[in-house]
Structure 1
Amino acid sequence: MTGPGMASGRRLAGKCFCGTVHYTVADQFAYAANCHCSNCRRTTGSAFKPFAGIEREKLTITRGEDERMIFGDEKGHDAHCGRCGSLLYSLVRNGAWVHVAMGTLLDDPSIRPTAHIFVGSKAPWFDITDGLPQYQGHVAAG
């Protein structure tokens, strides 16, 4: 059975704004959301960060690995291009998963964000106008 995030073998390409750092990632994302926390807003310069979560080993840096600027450590960090500053992904969940910044994908993933998270700290000047569920913090485990 295939569905969102379950496309077998398909790899998606992504890169930073200036093209220094490139990556590929399996089109097998487990979840996707729009994060409105203040950290995501500051790292993207936007009202929220659309991201898709996947196991760390399913993301491969294909160019510019040494050009990344890492904020954090091996268990959790944000990875930016060291030249243009684009946020490419965040290493999360004790280093086991990455949250790929969906705006850096060149290819169309099969998954779409399914919720808005951390709306309790969203930018006051931004109104959420879609019908996706909104959570004050993380999505509650089901």
Structure 2
Amino acid sequence: MQQKQARRLAGTCMCGTVRYEVSDAFGYAANCHCSKCRRTTGSAFKPFAGIEARELAIVKGEADIMRYGDEITHDAHCGVCGSLLYSLVREAMYVHVAMGTLVDEPTIRPSHHIFVGSKAPWFTIMDDLPQFREHSNG
């Protein structure tokens, strides 16, 4: 019996220099309010979806990616427009895809807020999703 393969989602930076594909098989999604995510996105929080790194493929603009960090933990930005595309995490085993760069609609939605203990003081969380001071327990 053949296993059904997850559909592929397209993603891109703001200027279109870097394009990627990722399986619509994310394991988790959250809104991160840590100061690093706020600064790298220029927003109150970063909505992200996590998946094994092997499920993401750069299909255009690999040479134009700027990586901040090292080989096992970094943020990947477009070197032309600066858009944050994804973060390599968990000893390079997973990526946290910046959901705002997805062109196609994923089936997953953020299920909670993390690092609420360091959220922007001018931002009020208005939804009923669970909130965690740091990482979630899940």
| TM-score of the aligned structures, taking structure 1 as reference length | 0.93
Aligned AA for 1:41? Answer: R
User: Do 1:8 and 1:28's aligned partners in 2 also have CA atoms closer than 8 Å?
Assistant: no
2:130 matched residue in structure 1: 133
How many angstroms apart in 2 are the aligned matches of 1:60 and 1:73? 19
Is 1:24 equivalent to 2:17 in the alignment?
A: no
CA-to-aligned-CA distance 1:54-99 (integer Å, 9 cap, x gap) = 0000000000000000001111000000000000000000000000
1:80 matched residue in structure 2: 77
1:1-142 equivalence runs, <5 A: 8-141=5-138
Q: Which runs of 4+ in 1 moved over 6 A?
A: none
Unaligned runs of 5+ in 2: none
Question: What secondary structure does 2:21 align onto?
Answer: strand
CA offset at residue 9 of structure 1? 2.6
CA-to-aligned-CA distance 1:74-126 (integer Å, 9 cap, x gap) = 11000000000000000000000000000000000000000000000000000
User: Do 1:76 and 1:93's aligned partners in 2 also have CA atoms closer than 8 Å?
Assistant: yes
CA offset at residue 139 of structure 1? 0.4
CA offset at residue 22 of structure 1? 0.1
Question: What secondary structure does 2:39 align onto?
Answer: helix
